[in-house]
Structures are given as C-alpha cells and as structure tokens.
Amino acid sequence: MARALNNPLAVSLGDPAGIGPEVIAKCWDHRDSFNLPPFVAIGDPRSVAAVWDGPIEVIDDPRQADSAFDYGLPLIQLNALRSDVPGHPSVAGAHTSLDSLEIAVGLARSGSASAVITGPIAKEQLYAIGFQHPGQTEFVAERCGVSPGNVVMMLAGPTLRTVPVTTHLPLKEVASQLNSALIESRGRAALRGLQRNFGIAEPRLAVSGLNPHSGEGGQLGLEELEIIAPAIAVLVAEGWRVTGPHPADTMFHTRARANYDAALCMYHDQALIPIKALHFEDAVNVTLGLPIVRTAPDHGTAFDIAGQDRADPRPMAAAIRMAAENAIQRAESA
Amino acid sequence: MARALNNPLAVSLGDPAGIGPEVIAKCWDHRDSFNLPPFVAIGDPRSVAAVWDGPIEVIDDPRQADSAFDYGLPLIQLNALRSDVPGHPSVAGAHTSLDSLEIAVGLARSGSASAVITGPIAKEQLYAIGFQHPGQTEFVAERCGVSPGNVVMMLAGPTLRTVPVTTHLPLKEVASQLNSALIESRGRAALRGLQRNFGIAEPRLAVSGLNPHSGEGGQLGLEELEIIAPAIAVLVAEGWRVTGPHPADTMFHTRARANYDAALCMYHDQALIPIKALHFEDAVNVTLGLPIVRTAPDHGTAFDIAGQDRADPRPMAAAIRMAAENAIQRAESA
C-alpha cells in the first residue's frame, strides 16, 4: 500500500492472553503480501514475545513507527502489572488491554495516529475492573465525545456491507425495540459513513424487512407497513437513495448486492449471517459516526487457541487495511 | 446423467401465466449441459408454446417419455379451460396449475414417475378456487397420506443444506412457537431425510441458537438453555450425531459448513438468508418425510418477467437433477 498517510495506524493489542498479539505480529510478518501501511502496536511486548519470534521495535513516539516498521513490529510499551500466559486471561491483563485501548484511541484523537484498530478484549475481565461500557465501541464513542446512540456498527467485506439497527437483544425483544426514529437515525449514520469513510457521493441503502417475505403485505407481520416503510419514506424525502423493505432472504445474492452500497438490517443475525457466510476471513467491523476512523476484526479473544500459532491473521489484516483506506478517504475529502 | 431411473420424472408446469412453462422448456433445451435425465411435463401445451419455440412431444403415458425426450419436451396434456397470457394470472390458470400438480403427484405415488418436481404456483389464485392448503408442500403431504406436521422443508445447495423449524410466522411469534418437541421432530425428519434421500448413513446435524451469540450463556435470551439444548440432548440420546446450539452467524462460513450435513435453523430467514446468499441459482426445496421424492425450485411465479424470455432455468434444472439423485438414492437403499 502506498504510504499515503502522514501518520501510522495505532493498533491496540487487546487482551494479552488472547489471540490479539499473535495476529497483529503476523500482520507485520506478512505486511507486504497483506498490503499494509506502517502501524504501531500498543501493549505489553511480553505478550507478543510469548507467541512470536520476530523482531519488536519498542518506540516512544508514533513518529518513529514509519522508519521502525522496516526492521520490526513497532510497539509502544505499556508498563503491564505482570506477564500473562496465552489462553489464561487475568484481571492484570484486563488492565493492560484497557490501557492499550485508551492510548490507541488517544493517539488517533490527537492526530498522532491516522486511525485506530482495536484488538479483541475479554469483556468479563474488564467488567471485573470496573469497565462500564457494553463494548469497546461505546468506550471509543465516549472518549470521542459522541453519544453511543449516534454511532453505528458496520460490517464491511469486499462485496457486502451490513448495518444492524438493533444488536445484542434477545430475538423475542427485537420487534418491540424497533421504531421508525431508530431506523432513520441508523440509516442516516450509515449513509453519512458511506460518504465519509468510503467516498461514495450518493450512497444507496437497501433496508430489510423484519418478517419472512418482508411481511407479505401484512399477512406475516405489520412492522414493515407500520414502522419500516415510514422510516424509509422519511429518508427518501430527505434526498437519500433508500429502498425497501426488501425480503431479507433475497437481498444477499450476487445480483441483489450490486444494487446497494450497504444493507440496513433489523437485527443482529440478519446482518451478521450473510456477511460471515460470504466474508468470514475479511469482514471488518467499522464504527461510523465518530470523529476518528476506528475498525476492528470481527472476532473475539479466542482464548481456546491462543499461544498455539493457529490464529488466522487475515481478519486483523483486513481491519488494518480498511482503516488505512478509510483514513485516506477522509483526508482527501476533508 | 446416466438413465439410471426406470421411470421419468414428473414436472408440473405450475401456473400457466408464470415462468414455470418457460424454465421447464429451457431445461429441455439445455438437458445435456444441465445433465438432466428424461422428464415429462404436465400441463397445458399452449402455455409452453406461448413462451418457447421448441418441439413439444405430447404423450399419453409416462412410459413414452424416455423415447420422446430425444425429440422434444414430453408433455402430458391437460384440457385447460382457456389459454392464459404470460404475466396475467387467472382463475382458469389456477385450475390448470392444480390439475397439473394433482396428476404429477399421482404419477409419482403410483410409481409411473420416479419423483415429482413442482413448478411455481400463485397461491392467491388457488385460494380463489377453494384450495385449502398453505402451499404445495402440504397438498403433496395430504395426497401422500402424511400429516403436514411430519414433513419438513429442506433447502439444499451444493455446499449447504438448511431446515427451518418454524416457517411463515411473524418474527415476534417465533420464540413463543418454539418448543423442544417441535425441534426434536424436525430434527429427526431432517436426519432421516439425509439418510433416505442423500444416502448419508450417519448424518451430522448442526442446530442453531435463536438469539445473538446463541444467547451468550443466558445473557441474551433463555431459549437456548431451556428449549434448544434439551431437544439436542434428546436427539443425541437416541444415537443421532447432533451438535449445538451454535451461534447462527458463525455457522455458515466454508470451514464451519464442513462440520455438518444439514443445519437445523429456528426460523425462516435464519435458514433462507445463508442458503440464498451462497446458492441463489441452485438451491432446491426438498420435501422430506414423504413416501415419494418431491423437489421444487426455490422461486415463485415471477409474473413480472413471465413471457419475456428472461427467466433463469438454473434453479429448475437443479430441482430436476436433485430429484433424480434423490430417487436413485432411495431406489438403491430400498
């Protein structure tokens, strides 16, 4: 990738006992074939050394990352309480992962880093040390001074982007949590994100129905008529290119995907089933609605395989590459 | 395809104003490249002639189909009330499509046909003439003397098979309609179908969760713990190879699909989103639990493109091919 960014990307290592350190180090190994620009890892170098034999270039300042990147994995060192064993998360490791996230976001906020990519964390451990957010996304939003309600999660792969309107809800609560205002606000955030992060001047959004066959004219549910279609009408009246509600089962085949830039889906699995079926190795979680660019691989800490040299670095590479592309896009249109 | 079947396949044309006649005629055109065995269409020859210039071989007896197949599309002629215009369904056409279905099923029941493939019908028109079934599947089940509750719909493509536990329900009713007995009975029907129709001696069934992350240990819903896991335990205790509940979003990527022969899904879109995202052109609807083999292409009448030579015959070809394979499998294991 052309070094079109003025500053490196900041990558938080995530939980030191998870697969974050391993996949980030492997990304440096394969930086040429993965087509990655210079990035700097933030965390405990011992968590990298425990799972990887390559060279680590400890630096103090992100400005050193560009030249260090040719010789080793640039890393800003945290003073971790103790070293963790891969696969065995601890409260000390939670402190390290939170510090890593805090510094990485801070570097992006200050402009010292062009974007932030977050490695996977273990929420249970973080809750044990007083972390109050549902996930890293909400933490990043707060640090950026943005209400969590105004950021949206997009899952982006090479041929499909999806945005869920509702996320971590029991399925039976989805219908009662949907309302037109929520669909409109998620839709606007998705459309603006397609413009800002992806450089699509007139983005096309396809909105799914909630029920089988999109409710079949009211025979299989009324949410399409009462909630979703009115929200689409509002967005269209604002000048956006929005279509739907579409039956969710026929939205995701090759020809259908050519008709839109992102699909707005009503619930978690409606958005995540198609993106992971089609793009499991390179789907990226992109947070839209922030003043900074933030991406993440769409996998967890995978403690069960940590430290065994089995973790696949491709999702992390896709997240780093997309962060770079989004940051370049934003810089060009700024 | 080797002519391993003693009798031809019976294909009902479906609604004469829909795309059924066109895609079935195109299947005869491409019988060699699609690798199709002899089949006989049942319906009004005028509905085929209206959309296709090829030769029609009107026959009286399915035993003539094998030799006629080399010269034209073998067709058992119905005395239709009138000729329909493509794209303009009528009550007369509904009578024709119902007669076509009735005769095709009868031929399969009597053994004169090796299997039945059903063309797409228009339910609204059929309801107008007194059709009482939710769809063709239930009609076929009744004609075979099987309770509709004991047949299941499987969507089968080259690398994925899915079976929905619930089907045409509003999403908000799915959770309340799920129960362990229903999951067990659908699971058993799917497993037996994999044995009988697909010749898999020890089939592996992967059962999805209902909620995001399969409920995350009860944090995002209790159905996995209270309903789905107990049903899986019952099936396992019976000696079946059944796993789950699995998070639905990570069940359908290439590596995950290698671990099972069919996925049992909790609701319509959970089963149909992945199969249509991956196999839109060649997913086949297979009815399991019947004394006969019945398949159908997974599309509707598409009145909006009927008569324009635009309909894609590949789904119908996949349905005919799978019916033949299933019938051969059943004959071999009988």
Distance CA A136, CA B148 (A): 48
Q: How confident is the model at residue A123 (pLDDT cuts 50, 70, 90)?
A: confident
Say whether residue B123 is in contact with chain A using an 8 A CB cutoff: no
Of B170, B210, B281, Cβ closest to residue A171: B210
- Please give the pLDDT value at position A135: 86
- Whether A20 shows a pLDDT value over 70: the answer reads yes
Instruction: Find the closest chain B residue to A160 by CA distance.
Output: B277
Residues B297-301: contacts with CB within 8 Å, 24+ apart?
B297/B23, B297/B119, B297/B120, B298/B155, B299/B19, B299/B120, B300/B18, B300/B120, B300/B122, B301/B14, B301/B15, B301/B17, B301/B18, B301/B19, B301/B20, B301/B89, B301/B120, B301/B121, B301/B122
More confident residue, A83 or A187: A187
* Percent of residues, chain B, with pLDDT higher than 70: 99
- Whether A174 shows a pLDDT value over 70: the answer reads yes
- Whether A23 shows a pLDDT value over 70: the answer reads yes
Question: Which of these, A145, A151, A118, lies nearest to A12 by C-alpha position?
Answer: A118
Distance CA A215, CA A166 (A): 19
Of B211, B253, B269, Cβ closest to residue A270: B269
N-terminal to C-terminal alpha carbon distance within chain B: 21
- Please give the pLDDT value at position A85: 86
Distance CA B194, CA B203 (A): 6
Say whether residue A213 is in contact with chain B using an 8 A CB cutoff: yes
Say whether residue B129 is in contact with chain A using an 8 A CB cutoff: no
What are the tens digits of pLDDT across the range A59-101? 999 999 999 999 999 999 997 777 778 999 888 899 999 999 9
Nearest CA distance, B113 vs chain A (angstrom)? 32
Across all residues in chain A, what is the average pLDDT? 94
- Tell me whether residues A172 and B167 touch, CB distance under 8 A: no
Cα separations in angstroms, B130 against B124, B125, B127: 10, 9, 5
What is the mean pLDDT of the segment spanning B216-225? 93
The residues in B 130-169 lying below 8 A from A, measured between CB atoms, are 167-169
- Please give the pLDDT value at position B1: 54
Contact B209, B244 (CB under 8 A): yes
- Tell me whether residues B274 and A273 touch, CB distance under 8 A: yes
Print the SS3 string covering chain A.
Answer: CCCCCCCCEEEECCCCCCCHHHHHHHHHHCCCCCCCCCEEEEECHHHHHCCCCCCEEEECCHHHHHHHCCCCEEEEECCCCCCCECCECCHHHHHHHHHHHHHHHHHHHHCCCCCEEECCCCHHHHHHCCCCCCCHHHHHHHHCCCCHHHCEEEEECCCCEEEECCCCCCHHHHHHHCCHHHHHHHHHHHHHHHHHCCCCCCCEEEEECCCHHHHHHHCCCCHHHHHHHHHHHHHHHCCCEEEEEECHHHCCCHHHHCCCCEEEECCHHHHHHHHHHHHCCCCEEEEECCCCCEEEECCCCCHHHCCCCCCCCHHHHHHHHHHHHHHHHHHHHC
What is the mean pLDDT of the segment spanning B163-167? 96
Nearest CA distance, B64 vs chain A (angstrom)? 39
Q: How confident is the model at residue A4 (pLDDT cuts 50, 70, 90)?
A: confident
- Whether A1 shows a pLDDT value over 70: the answer reads no
Contacts of A168 in chain B (CB under 8 A): 212-213, 216, 220
Contact B330, B286 (CB under 8 A): no
Q: Identify the sign of the CA torsion A15, A20, A25, A28.
A: negative
Contact B139, B101 (CB under 8 A): yes
What is the mean pLDDT of the segment spanning A235-255? 97
Question: Which of these, B266, B38, B235, lies nearest to B166 by C-alpha position?
Answer: B266
What are the tens digits of pLDDT across the range A197-223? 999 999 999 999 999 999 988 989 999
**Nearest 5°: phi and psi at B87?**
90, -5
Q: How many C-beta neighbours within 10 Å does residue B158 have? A: 11
Distance CA B190, CA B153 (A): 9
- Tell me whether residues B212 and A253 touch, CB distance under 8 A: no
What are the tens digits of pLDDT across the range A255-286? 999 999 999 999 999 999 999 999 999 999 99
- Tell me whether residues A170 and B215 touch, CB distance under 8 A: yes
Choose, out of A127, A172, A226, the residue to mutate when testing the contact with B (most B CBs < 10 Å): A172
Sheet (strand A161-164) strand order: A56-59, A73-77, A39-43, A9-12, A116-118, A294-297, A284-288, A152-156, A161-164, A262-265, A204-208, A241-246
Say whether residue B248 is in contact with chain A using an 8 A CB cutoff: yes
What are the tens digits of pLDDT across the range B57-111? 999 999 999 999 999 999 999 877 777 789 998 888 999 999 999 999 999 999 9
Say whether residue A172 is in contact with chain B using an 8 A CB cutoff: yes
Helix locations, B73-203, DSSP H = 91-110, 123-128, 136-143, 171-177, 180-196
What is the mean pLDDT of the segment spanning B21-26? 98
Q: Which of A71-75, B146-150, B171-175, B179-183 has the lowest mean pLDDT?
A: B146-150
- Tell me whether residues B269 and A248 touch, CB distance under 8 A: yes
Instruction: Find the closest chain B residue to A277 by CA distance.
Output: B253
Of B211, B249, B267, Cβ closest to residue A276: B249
Distance CA B77, CA B100 (A): 9
Q: What is the DSSP letter of B209?
A: P
* Percent of residues, chain A, with pLDDT higher than 90: 84
- Please give the pLDDT value at position B332: 86
What is the mean pLDDT of the segment spanning A168-176? 96
Distance CA B84, CA B87 (A): 9
What is the mean pLDDT of the segment spanning B252-278? 97
pTM of model > 0.80? yes
Of A172, A252, A253, Cβ closest to residue B175: A172
- Tell me whether residues B172 and A169 touch, CB distance under 8 A: no
Say whether residue B25 is in contact with chain A using an 8 A CB cutoff: no
Token pair for A159:
């041929």
Q: What is the DSSP letter of B74?
A: E
What are the tens digits of pLDDT across the range B309-329? 999 999 999 999 999 999 999
Contacts of B249 in chain A (CB under 8 A): 268-269, 272-273, 276
- Please give the pLDDT value at position A278: 97
Q: How confident is the model at residue A133 (pLDDT cuts 50, 70, 90)?
A: confident
Distance CA A45, CA B24 (A): 65
| Residue B265, Ramachandran bin (φ over 0: left; ψ between -120 and 50: alpha; else beta) | beta
